[in-house]
Chains A and B, each alone.
Chain A
Amino acid sequence: MNFDFSDEQKQLRDEARRFLTDRCSPAAVRAILEGPEPFDRGLWKGLAEMGFLGAAIPEEYGGVGLGHLELCVIAEELGRVVAPVPMASSIYLAAEFLMAAGTEEQKSRWLPKLASGETIGCFAWSEGVGRVTPKSIRTAVNGGTISGTKAPVADGDVAGLAIVAARSGTGTGENAISLYLVDLIGAGVSVEAIDTIDPTRSQSRIVFDGAPAELLGLAGEGWAIASQVMDRAAVLVAFEQVGGSDRALEMGRDYALDRMAFGRQIGSFQAVKHMLADMYVAATLARSNAYYGAWALSTGSSELPVAAATARVSATDAFQHCAKNNIQVHGGMGFTWAFDCHLYYRRANALALGLGSKSTWEDLLIDRLRQRNDAPAAA
C-alpha cells in the first residue's frame, strides 16, 4: 500500500514551495489586498512558465501532461501562501470542464490558452442568495445567444472565457440546464467587480444581453457535467484548504512560542496548547480525507462523489477552524490589519463558499453515502 504521494510528487512539492516562497510572499499577497490589481499577474505568468497551470492538461493541448496528483500537490502549496491568482476558476474549473465535455475543436482552441495563462477561464453558476439549484438558474439561451445575470462569479472580471450554466429548455429539472462557452471580450457582455470578504481573490457580476453562446457538452446535460467537474474541483480546492490550514496552524504555533505573558510563553498554557492541538487534529483529518479525494480523482474511481464531498466538508471545517483560532492565539494582534492572520481568515471563509456552501456539500455527502449503501454490494 502506498496511500501517499510519490517521491517525484514530493520533489514537485518542494519545487513549488521554493518558487512560491520567493514569488508569493505575504507582501505580494498584501499588494493585491490593498492595491488596484485584481490578481498577481507576475505570479500567474510564473506559474504558467513553471508548468503548474498545465500540470494536468495533456501535452497535445499545450499542457505538461503530468496528472491530477501533481495538481493536488501544487494546489496545497498555493493554499499555504493564499496565492492571489485565479487558479481555481481557470484550471480546476474551466480547464476541467473543457476536458470533461469539450469537443476536439473546443479543447484545441481553449486549453493551450488556459495552460499558458494567456486566457483566464471562469465558471458562471450562481445567480443570487442561497443554494444553486436547477430552478435557481434563470439565465437562458435562445437561438444561440445568452441573456441573464450571474453573480457572484469568481474571476469574471479578469476572465476572457466563461463557462455558463443556463436554461436551454423548459421545466425546473436538471435536464433544463446546459453549459455554454461565452467569450467575455465579445459583444453583449458587461462585467463589474464586486467587493467581497476576500479582496485577494476577484468576484464579479456578469450581465449577458444577447451574447453569442456556444454549447459545451450535450444539451440538457449541463447539470450532470457540472456535478462531475465540481467534484473534481472540490478535491483540488480541498488541497488549497489543507495547505492554508497547515500554515495557519504554524503561524499560531510560532506566535505561541514567541509571545510572553505572565512571565512565560503563552504556548505553555494548556488553554492555548489544547486549542493548537485541536487545530492539528482538524488539519490532520482534512489532509487524510483530501488524500482520499486525490486517490479517487487520479484513479477515476467510482468513489469520487463520496470522496470529493468528504474532502470538501472536512477541508472546509479544518481551514475555518485553524484560521479563526490562529487569530485567537494571536489575541488582539491577530485582529490588526498589519498581522497576516486575517489573510487566512478571509481566504478560509471565501473558499468555504466558493464551490457551494458547506451545508450543500454535507447534503451531497449524505445522499451519496446513502446511494452507496443502497447499491448492490460489489462482486
Chain B
Amino acid sequence: MNFDDTPEEAAFRATARAWLDAHAPKELEAELKMSGFGGMTLKSVDPMAASKAWQAKKKAAGWACLHWPKDYGGRGATPIERVIWGQEEGVFGVLSGTFTIGHGMCGPTLMAWATEEQKRELLPPMASGEHIWCQLFSEPAGGSDLAGLRTRAEKATDGSGDWIINGQKIWTSGAQHSDYGILITRTDSDVPKHKGLTMFFLSMKSPGVEIRPIKQANGQSGFNEVYFTDVRIPDAQRLGAVGNGWQVSLTTLMNERLSIGSGMPTGFPELFDYCMNLQTEDGPAIDDRSVRSRLATYAVRASGLKYTGMRAISALSRGETPGPENSIGKLVAGASMQELAMFALDLQGQAGVVSDPAQAEAGARFQAMLMRSPATRVEGGTDEILRNIIAERVLGLPGDIRVDKDVAFKDIPTRGRG
C-alpha cells in the first residue's frame, strides 16, 4: 500500500511538470487560487481570452484533451496519465472550466456517433478551445426525467431531408459562449418516451436559436435557457439513428461520470482555518467542544472522499476500471458544503447575514457557499437520483416502477392537478 508513482508515472509527471513550469500563466496563479464557489473570478484579464489562450498553448504542445486520440487533437494518454496531468496542472485547470462540457461530454459523443469526416473537422478545434460546445439536454419538463423532454424535431416538408426544431432547453451551461451544441429532441410522440428521441449537433449561430441567461437564486447567471424556433438542421448532423437518441445520450452521460480524482470541494479546509482564527470571548472557536465535534464530522467526510479518490486512482494505475465507490463523491460533497456553510454562518452570529465581501467574515466565502450549494445538490444528478443509482447499480435493488414505461409519449399526463 503506497502513494508512489510507478517509474512510468513518475516519468510522465516529470515531463508534465517541466512543461508546466516553463509555460503556465504564472501571472494569473494568485487570482486563480481565489476562485471560489460560483466560478472563476479573474479580474486582471478577460477570463475567456485567458482560457482560450491557455487551451491553445496546451493544444499546440500536445497537452490538450489528454484522453482523446491523437488524430482528433488529443494525446492518447492513459486514464492515470490524465489524473497526473490534472494534479500537476493544479490551479491552472480552473482555466479549462469553459471547455469541460465539450471535452468531457460532447467530444466523446461525437467520437462514438459522428462520421469520420465530421470528427476530423470538429474535434481538433474543440480540443484547442477555438470552438466551445454545450450540451442541450435538460428541459423545463424534463430534468431528472430527461426522457420526458418535449423539444420537437420534424422533417422539413420541402423534401430537403432537413429537420425543423421547435422547443426549449434549460440549464445549458455556457450556451452564451458556445459555437456548437449537441441537442436531444423528440421525433416521435406515438411511441414510449425513451423510443422517440433523436440526437443532433448544431451551430449555436443557427437562425432561430435564442439564448437567455437564467438569473439564479444566488444572483449569478452561469446557466441559460435556449429557445428553438423553426431552427433548421441538416440530416447529416444527426448523431445515431432516428429514434436512437436515448442510447446516444447515455454515451454522453457515462462520460460525465468519468471525471475521476478531481476531488469535489467540501469547504472543510476553509472552515477549519476559519475556526482556528475566529476569536470568541472564550478564545478561538476551535476550542469549543461543540465546534470540535462538528469539525470532526466534516473532517472525516472530506478525508473519506479524498481517500476514496485515491482508491479510484489506484485502480486506474493498475489499468482497471474504478469501482462503484466513486459514485458517492458529489452526494457527500454537495450536502457537506451546504451544512458546513450554515454552520459557519451560525458561528458568526447575527453578522452571518452580511454578504458584502468587504464587510463579511472570510470575504463572504461562506455566504457565497451557502447560496451556491443548493445547486450542487441538484445539478448533474440530484441527490435523490444519485441515491437511486447507488441503490440500483451498486446494491442491485429493483428499479422504480415506471408507470409511463409502455405508454405512448403523447398520452403521458403532464399536470398533477387538473
- A residues lining the B interface (CB < 8 Å): 1-6, 69, 249, 253, 256-257, 264-265, 267-268, 270, 272-274, 276-278, 280-281, 284-289, 291-292, 294-295, 298-299, 310, 313-314, 317, 359, 361-363, 365-366, 369-370, 373
Residue of B nearest to A249 (CB): B395
Q: Are the C-beta atoms of A3 and B311 separated by less than 8 Å?
A: yes
- With the chains together, A278 CA to B386 CA distance in Å? 10
Q: Are the C-beta atoms of A270 and B390 separated by less than 8 Å?
A: no
- With the chains together, A362 CA to B291 CA distance in Å? 10
Q: Are the C-beta atoms of A1 and B314 separated by less than 8 Å?
A: yes
Q: Are the C-beta atoms of A1 and B310 separated by less than 8 Å?
A: yes
Q: Are the C-beta atoms of A288 and B391 separated by less than 8 Å?
A: no
- With the chains together, A369 CA to B300 CA distance in Å? 11
Contacts of B325 in A (CB 8 A): 284, 287-288
Q: Are the C-beta atoms of A5 and B304 separated by less than 8 Å?
A: no
Q: Is B149 an interface residue (CB 8 A)?
A: no
Query: Looking at the complex, which one of A277, A289, A313 makes contact with B390 (CB distance below 8 Å)?
Result: A277
Residue of A nearest to B328 (CB): A281
Query: Looking at the complex, which one of B293, B300, B310, B387 makes contact with A277 (CB distance below 8 Å)?
Result: B387
Report B297-322 residues with CB < 8 Å from chain A CB. 297, 299-301, 303-308, 310-311, 313-315, 317-318
Q: Are the C-beta atoms of B9 and A1 separated by less than 8 Å?
A: yes
Query: Looking at the complex, which one of B3, B328, B396 makes contact with A253 (CB distance below 8 Å)?
Result: B396
- With the chains together, A366 CA to B288 CA distance in Å? 11
Q: Are the C-beta atoms of B307 and A1 separated by less than 8 Å?
A: no
Q: Report if A273-B276 is in contact (Cβ < 8 Å); known contacts: A5-B1, A295-B1, A370-B286.
A: no
Report B371-407 residues with CB < 8 Å from chain A CB. 384, 386-388, 390-392, 394-401
Q: Flag B1-28 by CB within 8 Å of A: 1 or 0 each.
A: 1111110010000000000000000000
Q: Is B70 an interface residue (CB 8 A)?
A: no
Q: Report if A281-B390 is in contact (Cβ < 8 Å); known contacts: A288-B325, A291-B307, A298-B1.
A: yes
Residue of B nearest to A297 (CB): B1
- With the chains together, A276 CA to B392 CA distance in Å? 10
Q: Report if A270-B5 is in contact (Cβ < 8 Å); known contacts: A278-B387, A291-B311.
A: no
Q: Report if A310-B303 is in contact (Cβ < 8 Å); known contacts: A2-B317, A362-B292.
A: yes
Q: Report if A363-B390 is in contact (Cβ < 8 Å); known contacts: A2-B317, A253-B396, A288-B308.
A: no
Residue of A274, A288, A361 ringed by the most chain B CB atoms within 10 A? A288
Residue of A nearest to B293 (CB): A362
Report B348-364 residues with CB < 8 Å from chain A CB. none
Residue of A nearest to B284 (CB): A370
Q: Is B272 an interface residue (CB 8 A)?
A: yes
Report B248-291 residues with CB < 8 Å from chain A CB. 272-273, 276, 286, 289
Distance of A210 from chain B, by nearest CB (Å) = 39
Query: Looking at the complex, which one of B2, B293, B307, B397 makes contact with A276 (CB distance below 8 Å)?
Result: B397
Contacts of A317 in B (CB 8 A): 297, 300
Residue of A nearest to B401 (CB): A268
Q: Are the C-beta atoms of B301 and A285 separated by less than 8 Å?
A: yes
Contacts of B296 in A (CB 8 A): 313, 361-363, 365-366
Distance of A80 from chain B, by nearest CB (Å) = 17
Q: Are the C-beta atoms of B1 and A284 separated by less than 8 Å?
A: no
Residue of A1, A270, A299, A373 ringed by the most chain B CB atoms within 10 A? A1
Q: Is B332 an interface residue (CB 8 A)?
A: yes
Query: Looking at the complex, which one of A1, A256, A361, A370 makes contact with B313 (CB distance below 8 Å)?
Result: A1
Q: Report if A3-B304 is in contact (Cβ < 8 Å); known contacts: A273-B397, A284-B325.
A: no
Distance of A254 from chain B, by nearest CB (Å) = 10
Query: Looking at the complex, which one of A273, A276, A366 makes contact with B292 (CB distance below 8 Å)?
Result: A366
- With the chains together, A317 CA to B289 CA distance in Å? 18
Q: Are the C-beta atoms of B397 and A285 separated by less than 8 Å?
A: no
Q: Is B66 an interface residue (CB 8 A)?
A: no
Residue of A nearest to B308 (CB): A288
Distance of B312 from chain A, by nearest CB (Å) = 9
Distance of B4 from chain A, by nearest CB (Å) = 7
- With the chains together, A268 CA to B392 CA distance in Å? 9
Q: Are the C-beta atoms of A268 and B308 separated by less than 8 Å?
A: no
